[in-house]
Amino acid sequence: MKTAHFILIFCLLALASPFAYASDPSPLQDFCVAINDPKDAVFVNGKFCKDPKLARAQDFYYSGLNIPRNTSNPVGSTVTPVNVAQIPGLNTLGISLVRIDYAPNGGLNPLILTLVPPKS
């Protein structure tokens, strides 16, 4: 009898368990070209969106990933990021990439992030 109760309760709990559905919400717009000037713009995901009528092909373009970078540094590698900072049109699209150049002899991509202040 105890076993039957246990099985019945177990089945009821298993059937009553809530099913979880999770996904990213659909984007509200096709693109959101990031700009720094909030004038005439909408704030989405931490960046201001350029007025879509003012978006240009250049907002979705980056050139120079084909150019090998200088790897003469202590770790023998150079990371070239391409994200919303380089291509404003990538804002809210969840897309980014990097080019990593390694020195021919022992270039490493270390786990330790080295921040180099910009030259002024």
Ligand X SMILES: *[C@@H]1O[C@H](CO)[C@@H](O)[C@H](O)[C@H]1NC(C)=O
Contacting residues for 43 by C-beta, under 8 A, at least 6 apart: 49
* Interface residue with ligand X, options 72, 105, 114, 120 (CB under 6 A): 72
With CB under 6 A, what is the number of residues at the site for ligand X? Answer: 2
In angstroms, give the least distance from the CB of 70 to ligand X.
4
Of 81-120, binders to ligand X (CB under 6 A) are none
Rounded Cα distance, 28 and 26, in Å: 6
Residue 106's identity, in one-letter code, is G
Whose Cβ is closer to ligand X: residue 60's or residue 102's? 102
In angstroms, give the least distance from the CB of 71 to ligand X.
8
- Judge residue 81's burial from the number of C-beta atoms within 10 Å of its C-beta, 0-12 exposed, 13-18 middle, 19 or more buried: exposed
* Interface residue with ligand X, options 70, 105, 114, 120 (CB under 6 A): 70
Residues found near ligand X in the complex (CB under 6 A): 70, 72
